[in-house]
Amino acid sequence: MLSILKKEINSFFASPVGYLVISIFLVLNGLFLWLFKGNFNIPDYGFADLSSFFLLAPWILIFLIPAVTMRSFSDEKKQGTLELLLTKPIGIRNIILGKYFAAFVLIIIALLPTLLYVYTVYQLGNPVGNIDLGSTLGSYFGLLFLVAAYTAIGIFASTFSSNQIVAFISAVFLCFFFYAGFEGIADFTFSDFIDQLGMKYHFNSMGRGVLDTRDIIYFLSITVFFLILTKLTLNRERQ
């Protein structure tokens, strides 16, 4: 698994992909949060908190993570190296986990500079330090679990086709559906149970600053579920 992980991370930073992902994520957040006038602008909001960032970031990641994961297996299919990769003695599970954690690590690297937002808002508080650190910490944990789930979905979608665009669109649709789709259905059917099936419900729950084991189990279940689907799909490809 480690050999695949290192190979994937090296490929990210040997090409513009890794740098583009990090740059696009930071630039988009920076523009919406600090420069563009609107509901997301923190200085105009009047309160020293990062709720705008945690409202915006999941939507940016819906597009950014599929852009990272779309090449994971679709590129192997396009180059005709998937069959060779699956016959290696490292095992399908280790191949999947290697590619998964490489993409996950890249997104975490993109998130790390946003900790500067916490320091900035901390200093902007009146008095200094007037920020809800519990809610901020909970939201960051929620974002990590959201990234884990999005990445698993993206890896799974990359097995659909040798066309990376197909993999990208499929991953964006699945991420969108699992994040906001259930909330839309719940609004139509007036069902709280359906709302609780969506990622947004559990992400918002963690953002309140209380780490409920039900939220953690939910995200872990989604992540493992899509990784298992990926393994089943690749097993079928090998047969």
Residue 33: what pLDDT?
82
Residue 39: what pLDDT?
73
Q: How many CA atoms lie within 13 A of 43 on its CB side?
A: 8
With a CB cutoff of 8 Å and minimum separation 6, the contacts of 218 are 199, 202
Instruction: Please identify which residue in the block is written with the tokens 């920020």.
Output: 131
Residue 214: what pLDDT?
92
* CB contact at 8 A, 145 and 213: no
* CB contact at 8 A, 76 and 167: no
* Number of domains into which the chain is organized: 1
Please state, in angstroms and rounded to a whole number, the distance separating the CA atoms of residues 237 and 207: 40
Please state, in angstroms and rounded to a whole number, the distance separating the CA atoms of residues 203 and 214: 11
H helix runs in 112-198, sequence order: 115-124, 133-157, 164-176, 182-189, 192-195
* CB contact at 8 A, 219 and 199: yes
The letter for the amino acid at 227 is L
- pLDDT tens digits, the chain, 239 residues: what are they? 777 888 888 888 887 878 888 898 889 888 888 777 777 777 776 666 788 889 999 999 999 999 999 988 888 888 877 777 777 777 888 889 999 999 999 999 999 999 988 888 877 766 766 677 888 889 999 999 999 999 999 999 999 888 899 999 999 999 999 999 988 888 787 778 888 899 999 999 998 877 889 999 999 999 999 999 999 988 887 66
Please state, in angstroms and rounded to a whole number, the distance separating the CA atoms of residues 120 and 8: 34
Residue 30: what pLDDT?
85
Please state, in angstroms and rounded to a whole number, the distance separating the CA atoms of residues 129 and 99: 40
Residue 237: CB atoms within 10 Å: 15
* CB contact at 8 A, 199 and 148: no
Domain coverage including residue 153:
2-238
Instruction: Please identify which residue in the block is written with the tokens 């990090």.
Output: 22
Residue 187: CB atoms within 10 Å: 11
